[in-house]
Structure 1
Amino acid sequence: MTDGPRAPRAGRSRRLLAGALLLAVSVVIGVTVAVSLFLSSSRTVVLVGHDTVVRPTTTGDAVVQTGPLLPDFRFRDVGPVGVTLTLGKTEVGSIEELVQRYGFIANDPTAQVGKVRAVVVDMAVSAAVRGLAAGLIPVAVYLLLGPHRRGELFRGVRTGRGAVAAVLLVSLPVLLWQPWESDERTQDEQESWQTLADLAGPDVTLPAEARDIEVRVGPVTTETKKLVLSAVDTYDRSKAFYSTAAEEAADLDVRQPEDGETLALLVSDRHDNIGMDRVARAIGEAAGATVVLDAGDDTSTGQPWEAFSLDSLAGTFDDWDRFGVAGNHDHGSFVSSYLADRGWTMLDGEVVDAPWGGTLLGVDDPRSSGLGSWRDESGLSFTEVGTRLADAACAAQEDGERVSTVLVHDANLGREALNRGCVDLVVGGHTHVHAGPDAVEGEDGEVGWTWTNGTTGGAAYAIAVGSKPRRDAEVSLVTYADGRPVGLQLVRLRTDGSWLVGDWAPVTPAP
């Protein structure tokens, strides 16, 4: 009578023990595979203007490997997981220009740091999912075998053949790992790390945040001290200029929207000047803007190496309503597709609803590397695209939805739509010189307006990267009420750091 209850309890105990053992094996396999895959993984992204290979490490440091001509840099204790960034190809005119670009980007590295963090997290999640899959393999095998086959397998382990199989199974990970293999000694091992403060010496004053950055020094890289200090100087001056401008922008005397009004911030011709992004955001916040309109020329060539500029733009306005078009310098489709992937509404010739209750229309500049695409049609001239734009605006008006704003890179692209009297306002950039508001009377007496924003990046021609704007930098504030534009205001940051806030110019839309 006493043996009856013990047998079921003993069976349950064996099953629980087997389940616990199986779970432990699964966890060990899963964690081992996940960690191994994570630490051996890499991703190639565009970072600081380079094709960059990102590799996670266990050191907790961030190491930037710049190549054979410049020294490597190391940032200590960046987090529980470190990272090695190996910089690859880029487009640059000279080493001096490249080093100055590094210093300028370091002035506001938020977008680049966020990009690296997102890549590392994505690699960790991917490795964890694969580790989970590997950890489930023993569970799947255990269930597929069934009690009878499992019993035969366990009994077979006690035989000589089973023992050999078990040893081979245990040895397999070691054979794959091959810990006895060692790399040859490299030049990196012959060099040491030195802080920027030690490298510069007591006669050079460094920014506090840069003093502890470490540089790999050796017989070759010692000659690059002048370039490194040049980058630090660019960083220091640009950070001071743009940080001061952003602080002052918060106190500018700009018109505030009244009840029922919506304010949009218009930027154009940034040309890679990420320093102005936080200044533009500060101006918009001071005025109460919630929408950003981008009239294009965010880059100088439209190439992937300029993704750092788009990352900055996207990160700066990530919580606003965002609309944009590509400019003539944003060659190809890279800029539009990159911003679209990051949540921007890139206008393509179709009327869309706007956050202010009206409608918005726009299209990329047709001179963007000969694009001029209209839906699936290509090779259209500037005039032809302007005609198509006017056709779309007038068709919308016939349907009872008058277009409140046409957003283009060059305001001349919307001239025909204004001449036909089908739009309230055309805004653009391109010329790097402010113009407007100018009234345009349409065919039936309807009045529309045109406004050209200066260069937000303070660009001279297509170049804006530097420790401060090369010419006055400008943004515009567009006020909407009842779904239509009612006023415009310019805000200009001069090259000497002073401000010009234009008067708010009311515009009266057609009845």
Structure 2
Amino acid sequence: MGRRRRIAGGIVVVCLSALLGVAVAVSLFLNSSRTVVLVGHDTVVRPTFDRDAVVETGPLLPDFRFRDVGPIGVTLTLGKTEVGSVEELVERYAYIAGDPTAPIEKVGDVVADMAVTAALRGLGVGLVPIAFYLLLGRHRRGELFRGVRTRNGVLALVLLLALPVLVWQPWEADEETQEDLGTWQTLAELAGPDVELPTEARDIEVRTGPVTTESKKLVLSAVDTYEKSKEFYSDAAEEAADLEDIRRAEEGETVALLVTDRHDNIGMDRVARAIGEAAGATVVLDGGDDTSTGQPWEGFSLDSLSATFEDLDRYAVAGNHDHGTFVSSYLADQGWTMLDGEVVDAPWGGTMLGVDDPRSSGLGNWRDESGLSFAEVGLRLADEACAAMEDGERISTILVHDANLGRETLQRGCADLVLGGHTHVQAGPDAVEGDDGAVGYTWTNGTTGGAAYAFALGSKPRRDADVSLVTYADGRPIGLQWVRLRTNGTWLVGEWTPIEPVTPDP
């Protein structure tokens, strides 16, 4: 009888502990928040059980709501960002909405991480009663349960039960706010019957009210920009998949897709991916200038880049516009191999080398030394490549932002190919005869983002947008090809050009 009572008591304690752990986990989850960089803003993410995604944009623009996004809803409160005007901000939202995969995945990952964190903390709290139950022992537990039936025990139990109510304080109510005065309207209702909206945008809801009613023109302008942007880049991606003049990798070959100077134009990412798939590319090489300033608000560009090429082998360097350490560290955290002046094994079987542009402040291991000039970094790069060749490992590819950074290496005859960008104009392949009869090549990709200056995000490229395809066999480059999307949506595909690097005689 005593044993059955102990077992029953243990079961009761376990059940109560489980209920306590679940209650604590749910409470922590619903009251938790996480600040991330999303769509160019410092954004506070809060989970809800409403099944809706609400985007709170601030005092100048209307809030948005997406209904029934899943079993868990979320509230996104947009904070600080870098922007020149409200109109520019609205346009940015429209461009990002044209390919929302990366921000959606990021929010999903953040909410999942918050749920795991809350569950672990709830588990910890739920184990406390079990631990006390075991530590007290049978004799002390008996004394405790007998004490509950006394007057002091009843008073202690009442105080214990009152504790969560005092902490919760359900009688406290927030004041009525301007937000409460607003009402939700679908975009179709806001625009009226005379405006034709994209099908996927008609059911998005906008919070309207005294302050935001005049934002209707901005909202409709954003919808128009979104539709133009999505249509242009979606059409381009579909056409890229069917380009007949793109040379596809043959047996024993590896193709690498080279992108440079994206300058925040996330619309071109899916187009570049389609070109890479048409060529059978399994590697992506990023020559830098993925941003315009290298600031955290441009994380949306890096999120898109990583999501688009997540399943490929990924290598990158920072460009001169990727100021500071943000770009390099952010991409490294997302799984990119950031080249930092040391020789690494390449996925095509050879070796490769690269370093951030010295005009930025990236994470290369030479950046600990201040005051290194462009020429000095080029000399260091050549020393590293030639040292590898002396050890029997000739560098097949040097990836830099500006191909001029690899000129000294080619002149010494220590590498097969130097890849770069920076000029926004495609050039090469140019053979460079180096010491002892060695021959290497230099190749400059145009601007993948179609950037005229340092910013390229738009409903279409501001100038012709280029990517390059590099073919490797037996660990060495054997051919190059450029593919260009013009501003009017038409295509130019360069001929595949074979190259034959020559290794110097011992």
Equivalent residue number for residue 169 of structure 2? 178
Q: Do 2:51 and 2:72's aligned partners in 1 also have CA atoms closer than 8 Å?
A: yes
Equivalent residue number for residue 193 of structure 1? 184
After TM superposition, the runs of 4+ consecutive aligned structure 1 residues lying more than 2 A away are: 369-373
1:80-91 paired onto structure 2 within 5 Å = 80-91=71-82
Equivalent residue number for residue 473 of structure 1? 465
* Alignment partners' CA distance in 1, 2:89 and 2:174: 32
Alignment counterpart, residue 283 of structure 1, candidates 275, 288, 293: 275
* Alignment partners' CA distance in 2, 1:111 and 1:404: 33
Equivalent residue number for residue 373 of structure 2? 381
- CA displacement at 1:474 relative to structure 2: 0.7
**Deviation sequence 1:158-191 (CA, Å, 0-9, x none):** 1000000111111111111010110011001111
* Alignment partners' CA distance in 2, 1:324 and 1:76: 38
Equivalent residue number for residue 404 of structure 2? 412
Equivalent residue number for residue 392 of structure 1? 384
* Alignment partners' CA distance in 2, 1:302 and 1:160: 68
Q: Do 1:373 and 1:380's aligned partners in 2 also have CA atoms closer than 8 Å?
A: no
- CA displacement at 1:11 relative to structure 2: 2.3
Matched letter for residue 444 of structure 2: T
Matched letter for residue 384 of structure 1: E
User: Does residue 166 of structure 1 match 2:138?
Assistant: no
**Deviation sequence 1:185-206 (CA, Å, 0-9, x none):** 1001111011101111111110
- CA displacement at 1:20 relative to structure 2: 1.6
- CA displacement at 1:12 relative to structure 2: 3.0
- CA displacement at 1:261 relative to structure 2: 0.8
1:55-454 paired onto structure 2 within 5 Å = 55-253=46-244, 254-368=246-360, 374=366, 376-454=368-446
SS of the residue 1:403 aligns to: coil
Matched letter for residue 332 of structure 2: A
**Deviation sequence 1:73-132 (CA, Å, 0-9, x none):** 000111111111000000001111000000000000100000000000000000000000
Matched letter for residue 398 of structure 1: E
* Alignment partners' CA distance in 2, 1:306 and 1:366: 21
Matched letter for residue 413 of structure 2: G
* Alignment partners' CA distance in 2, 1:94 and 1:373: 38
Matched letter for residue 167 of structure 1: V
Matched letter for residue 501 of structure 2: P
* Alignment partners' CA distance in 1, 2:239 and 2:292: 28
Matched letter for residue 250 of structure 2: E
- CA displacement at 1:369 relative to structure 2: 5.0
* Alignment partners' CA distance in 2, 1:423 and 1:259: 25
* Alignment partners' CA distance in 1, 2:128 and 2:88: 53
- CA displacement at 1:468 relative to structure 2: 0.5
* Alignment partners' CA distance in 1, 2:25 and 2:380: 54
Equivalent residue number for residue 455 of structure 1? 447
- CA displacement at 1:370 relative to structure 2: 9.0
* Alignment partners' CA distance in 2, 1:289 and 1:336: 23
Cα 1:383–1:371 shift into 2, 3 Å: farther
SS of the residue 1:16 aligns to: helix
Of 113-122 and 369-378, more deviation after overlay is shown by 369-378
- CA displacement at 1:249 relative to structure 2: 1.1
- TM-score, normalising length from structure 1? 0.97
User: What is the aligned length?
Assistant: 502
Equivalent residue number for residue 44 of structure 2? 53
* Alignment partners' CA distance in 1, 2:483 and 2:74: 41
Matched letter for residue 323 of structure 1: Y
- CA displacement at 1:252 relative to structure 2: 1.2
- CA displacement at 1:376 relative to structure 2: 2.9
Q: Do 1:370 and 1:379's aligned partners in 2 also have CA atoms closer than 8 Å?
A: no
Q: Do 2:340 and 2:364's aligned partners in 1 also have CA atoms closer than 8 Å?
A: no
Matched letter for residue 262 of structure 1: T
Q: Do 2:46 and 2:76's aligned partners in 1 also have CA atoms closer than 8 Å?
A: yes
Q: Do 2:341 and 2:365's aligned partners in 1 also have CA atoms closer than 8 Å?
A: no
* Alignment partners' CA distance in 1, 2:469 and 2:180: 55
* Alignment partners' CA distance in 2, 1:93 and 1:280: 29
Q: Do 1:373 and 1:379's aligned partners in 2 also have CA atoms closer than 8 Å?
A: no
Percent identity reads: 78
- CA displacement at 1:365 relative to structure 2: 0.3
Equivalent residue number for residue 3 of structure 1? none
* Alignment partners' CA distance in 2, 1:162 and 1:34: 29
Matched letter for residue 136 of structure 1: L
Alignment counterpart, residue 22 of structure 2, candidates 22, 31, 48: 31
- CA displacement at 1:219 relative to structure 2: 1.5
* Alignment partners' CA distance in 2, 1:68 and 1:13: 63
- CA displacement at 1:372 relative to structure 2: 7.7
SS of the residue 1:500 aligns to: strand
- TM-score, normalising length from structure 2? 0.98
Runs of 5+ unmatched residues, structure 2: none
Q: CA RMSD in A?
A: 1.0
Equivalent residue number for residue 498 of structure 1? 490
Runs of 5+ unmatched residues, structure 1: 1-9
* Alignment partners' CA distance in 1, 2:73 and 2:365: 44
- CA displacement at 1:16 relative to structure 2: 2.3
Q: Do 1:371 and 1:379's aligned partners in 2 also have CA atoms closer than 8 Å?
A: no
* Alignment partners' CA distance in 1, 2:243 and 2:6: 73
